Amino acid sequence: MMTLNDQYQKLNQELRRGVLVLAVLSQLRARKYGYSLIEELTEGGLEIDQGTLYPLLRRLEDQGLLHSEWDVSGSRPRRYYELTGDGERALEDLEADWHALVQVVRGLLEKTELEE
């Protein structure tokens, strides 16, 4: 039996899932490795755990939106990710979609608040 809190967690997770892709892509215009990306997102206020981020990076790479390479020049080897040409175009489109969506949903939420 799912408690109300579990239900909420699930809804929240679903809501975040799509946003995470946009957030990750937005930070990869310049190349970054996984941990630095986590730090950057956390600094920006978006918590993401490694168990979510690394598989997501792999998936985006498989889809051709990201490109990755090992850099062994530092203190320890790190895998750096960066947007590909396709990734940049996808980010632009998603960004426009995001702004449109936020406006629409805000309109809807405000409308119902007024009715109440």
- Which residues bind to another protein, rule: CB under 8 A? 33-35, 49-52, 54-55, 58-59, 70, 76-79
State the nearest-atom distance from the C-beta of 110 to another protein, in Å.
36
Q: In what order do the strands lie in the sheet with 78-83?
A: 32-33, 78-83, 66-71
Contact (CB, 8 A) for 47 and 92: no
Q: Is 1 or 72 the residue whose CB approaches another protein more closely?
A: 72
State the nearest-atom distance from the C-beta of 61 to another protein, in Å.
11
State the nearest-atom distance from the C-beta of 40 to another protein, in Å.
13
Question: What span, in angstroms and rounded, lies between the C-alpha atoms of 77 and 57?
Answer: 17
Q: Is 82 or 88 the residue whose CB approaches another protein more closely?
A: 82
Q: Is 76 or 111 the residue whose CB approaches another protein more closely?
A: 76
Q: Is 69 or 93 the residue whose CB approaches another protein more closely?
A: 69
State the nearest-atom distance from the C-beta of 42 to another protein, in Å.
11
